[in-house]
A and B are shown apart, each in its own frame.
Chain A
Amino acid sequence: MDGEELTAQQTALYDRQIRVWGVDAQKRLSKAQILVSGLNGTSVEFCKNIVLAGVGSLTLMDDRLVTEDALQANFLIPRDETVYSGRSLSELCCESLRDFNPMVRVLAEKGDLAQCEMEFLDKFDVVVVTGCSLKTKIEINEKCRKRAKRIAFYAIECRDSCGEIFVDLQNYTYAQKKSDGTAECHLSYPSLEDAILIPWRNLPRKVSKLYFAMRVIEKFELSEGRNPGELSNFDLPAVLKQRKELCDAQSLNESHVPETLLERILVAGPMLYPPVCPILGGILGQEVIKAISGKGDPLKNFFYFDAADGKGVIEDISNPSSI
């Protein structure tokens, strides 16, 4: 990639990571514009990572005021009411993030991404959403796919001590390094809507139980008009009913979606297990860096981590024809 060289300041600061991904990748990063909608333990970790990596800009959208729940696992907001009172999450996080890397433009944008005009998205190369309903995620994903410029879309959610990342790079081509040179690699990602529409019967064997559990809970939240984290243990019976309905419709044995797992997630409610946030935020950070720099095999298309068994698993939920 031609164009301006990195400044001496950038070269000094980014030395250690340039040794990982190279100067060209660093240059691409410095031009990338990132949007994050929803600030919680995991997305805040992602923000830290991406700012340190040296992107061009990071825009935050979350107008909510600070609450106990919002503070959990969030190291960007000082636990001092005199500091945070009356200010939005995006404002506060923005302030802290700027400190991490003065060379990155960090902005707080007021409003709700779900209500935004499509053109608003054109400013960005990467969009990350969290904490919103499935409906909103699908809508934003669709908007991203309709733009002329390819916008990479990611959804991330942490519930209790497990979490999910969804990746949509649309049609993605990159140079894959092999032992005998490089080979051009094409990947075709389904939209979020298409991915979750794939009949469960057609999925590979032994897909992570978290996939199904998330879908059941999401469906239930949708029917109740609630956002992630707003359910509780009281909803368990109704959620189990939802599970039965879905599994019957999909001809899948209910044992693929263990009750213990659903219960665990519901009991947690809005609570996150703090050490899981840097893990999910770290994986997401790596993925976004890969997508911007064009270096490294991106994950396709779901990632799950569960502290209960300690595994971090990639699931390819896409139609066989596009694999």
Chain B
Amino acid sequence: MDSDSKTEAIKRAKVLMVGAGGIGCELLKTLALSGFQDIHIIDMDTIEVSNLNRQFLFRQSHVGQSKAKVARDVVLRFMPRICITPYHANVKDPEFNVDFFKKFNVILNGLDNLDARRHVNRLCLAAEVPLVESGTTGFLGQQVTVHIKGRTECYECQPKPTPKTYPVCTITSTPSKFVHCIVWAKDLLFAKLFGDRNQENDLFVHTGDGSDSVKPTDDIFERGLDEVPVQYGRKIYDHVFGYNIEVALANEETWKNRRRPRPIFLGDVLPEKLILQNGNLEKNCLTEDLSLSAMSSLGLNNPQEIWSLAENSRLFLEALRLFIERRGKDIGSLTFDKDDQLAIEFVTAAANIRASSFGIPLHSLFDAKGIAGNIVHAVATTNAIIAGLIVIEAIKVLEADFQNCRMTYCLEHPCQKMLLMPVEPFEANKSCYVCSETPLLLEVNTQTSTLRDFVDKIVKNKLGMSFPLIMQGAILIFEGGDDLEEDIAANYALNLDKVVVLTALPAPVTSGSMLTVEDLQQELSCHINIKHREEFDEEKEPDRMVLLGWTTPEKESQGVSNGENTAAAIPASPEAINKSEEVEVTAEISRTKRKLSEMTEVQEIFQILPDTDANNSMDPQEVEDNDYDNDLIVLDENPEASKKRRLQ
């Protein structure tokens, strides 16, 4: 690694950064300081106040502006002679196609969602450009990984956990955790009251009774012309928290082994006087819609406090009233936004009342917001460390120093004295449908499942394709995209909208059929063999389709999700590390390498690494100096061979 050749490689490099947020700001700064002169950044977001605690290139005065553009402007001020090209756009836009990606020497990701990462992964493979990825991974904390086609695994060789989803019935009928109540409040109640009325909504679905949803006349949610907000609010409250629960209780089966919820009626919770009393709006700053707040109007000032059922009920009514009286124009088209104060307050209140009904502990607004908004907690230090590691790997890639590329884990608790643990990259997964073209198997009831189900649940959701083509042999069954001619699009739409089951398609899809699914933009092609299956478990397989050959992580279940963000799930309070947890850490690495003999490998790692027992005194014997590689953790095919290589 000659220093001059390093400098040259850096100077000549053309680098693409995807994401100008937490990692992005740190990364851009470090790239600039490291001598990079041609940097491109893509980010579709604008700056928010909550970004400022770590996205240090941004100021209060920048709120609302494009992250990519502001980042560029600020960095150019301290490094004026380099070239930074910002794109305020979605990396999934068609302009960022394979030819675009081919222009770069390396791609650096600082993203916060799985969907975009998968997309970038596929483009990097198609363009044959190395990718340096970063992000969180459960127990291990943050990590930086390098993906080079033909040399290492791709980002999708090891399936990443898709967003946690919950069976629909858990949300609509049998919640047992607070998050179930949040999902109900956000995706069902909030959506029903303030969102698109025409959207399908499971608010009234009940399990077990076989009969389809007990749909009352939708009158309930229509507000009469002379129905004042207080009346309306009370009606809604009593209906969803009182009447609906009573109806659910009528079905004995559901509650045989479960705690029965109790119906809650407003009159039992609040004295009449309080029901009729509005909050004090003078306490509010009414300049911005989004800062309109029922909390402050009621004098509930501490978002960390857990309010009582009565307080939550008042909050529910007041929030509803404020939506109607002050934001009436939004009603009917509103989508939940975690930065919409009133929406958060409403959802918190509704979730808490439901929780109270089901005997689930209530939560503070602060906590509820974190859950409802899928907020990823984040601090500057972690992002800075990750950025440094990304640049180190990027430079190795540019120098074609592939042997030394590493995946680095940033651990919350030290493992064998290490807080930063480098591991050799894994080789490609031979059954990865993304980089190895292995066919998948889909078990589905071809007589009852439709093409629409297949496209939505499998092709778009599981396979992550945006504009898919689906073919059976030479026959095109479906094509999704914006640039199709009208009559062709109409034809495919016809196939989807009609409840056309797979066997009834013009080119019938039956057991034994093989479908080819392609996404032209991602240049990804994938084969799926179809196998007919009659029965599916409603709770475990609510999609009524099972995709195999694509190894899925253990805890996944289909159904209602709490939103897209997959970067979260680090527990807020650090647990004390002990020996067994250390084993967990290396075991988790081994496990994700899909080897059969995980435990043996872990044991072998522990045997060959020197023990750090303080009682052992220094050995006056000579220690072999072979480039500090003595303790490198290498998880490879043949632990025996490496064992021999490493023992001194």
Contacts and interface: CB of A to CB of B under 8 A. Distances in A.
Given A99-B59, A204-B613, A296-B574, A49 B620 contact: no
Interface centre among B33, B54, B304, by most chain A C-beta atoms within 10 angstroms, is B33
Interface in B596-634: 610-625, 627-632
A252 B576 CA distance: 35
Given A206-B610, A309-B628, A52 B618 contact: no
Interface residues of A, number: 84
Given A16-B375, A253-B623, A312 B419 contact: yes
B6 to A, nearest CB: 9
A201 B632 CA distance: 24
A275 B144 CA distance: 14
Nearest to A250: B618
Interface stretch (A6-14, A58-66, A149-157, A228-236): A6-14
Interface centre among A22, A176, A260, A278, by most chain B C-beta atoms within 10 angstroms, is A278
A283 B33 contact: no
Nearest to B304: A23
A283 B575 CA distance: 19
B56 A100 contact: yes
A252 B30 CA distance: 39
Contact of A13 (B52, B382, B615): B52
B377 A310 contact: no
Interface in A85-143: 99-102
Contacts of B379: 16-17, 20, 53, 289
Contacts, number: 217
Interface string B567-603: 0000011111100000000000000000000000000
Interface in A196-210: 200-206, 209
A164 interface: no
Contact of B53 (A52, A75, A202, A289): A52
B520 interface: no
A79 interface: yes
A200 B619 CA distance: 10
A21 B355 CA distance: 26
A74 B413 CA distance: 30
Contact of B385 (A256, A278, A289, A306): A278
B428 interface: no
Given A13-B50, A204-B614, A276 B388 contact: yes
B49 A313 contact: no
Interface in B381-416: 381-382, 384-385, 387-389, 391-392, 395, 406, 408, 413-414
A274 B35 CA distance: 9
A294 interface: no
A100 B385 CA distance: 18
A222 interface: no
A34 interface: no
Main secondary structure of the interface of A (DSSP, over half): mixed
A190 interface: no
Contacts of B408: 310
Contacts of A282: 380-382, 384-385, 388
B65 interface: no
B42 interface: no
Nearest to B390: A275
Nearest to A288: B381
A279 B370 contact: no
Interface of B: 26, 29-30, 32-35, 49-50, 52-54, 56, 59-60, 77-81, 302-304, 366, 370, 375-382, 384-385, 387-389, 391-392, 395, 406, 408, 413-414, 417-422, 572-577, 610-625, 627-632
